[in-house]
Structure 1
């Protein structure tokens, strides 16, 4: 608006109801598009925040139906992320069990003492390097 440019950002005249409605719809659409983009990037919490902001603007029915569809898509993505996290946790647990089952009693004792087998007391550094190499090979 030319009046806004001349007035340093202030409107020279008050906005009409139609202009206010148009600005509100544009802002709602911007929140919707940003939420869609964030959902595509798996940024679920920021997408949910954008969705809440868009719904708070009381959008027209056509835009509200798009927002409700986005809400359902967010719920599906949330469930899929939880399912994926459970699968990942199971894989990590399985890997850790396999790694721990391959350790002998001496290696387990070293791990429990916090030493980890990297340096065995009573030996100089060169002897420990050989012990460390044999430990790594045994895993």
Structure 2
């Protein structure tokens, strides 16, 4: 993506360079339809005070080799129309960002499980380290 020519935006400034990133929309059924999970951005951040879905830019660590449950990186690549290596990084970034920003861990020891309780001090330290 580096080195791409970018056209000026409507306000005349150069548009931002695209970055590989992930945004997660968490939904659950509710009596009146669905509920969505959003976070309120810290006042010190860009778009401070705004509500947003959890997410962020892919970090280099999101591409590291790791144990994997669920659909393979190749399958995620097919679903996201990305190379498998990029798909792995995007899925890892999605899980990392949701845990970092919302305290929800979308990971577990098996393909059909997630960690049930992340309320302990060790989990909070791990979350803050992100």
User: Normalising TM by the smaller chain, what interval?
Assistant: under 0.3
Name the larger-Rg structure.
Answer: 1
Higher relative contact order (Cα pairs below 8 Å, separated by 6+ residues): 2
More helix by share: 1
More strand by share: 2
Give TM-score, length-normalised by structure 2: 0.22
Give TM-score, length-normalised by structure 1: 0.21
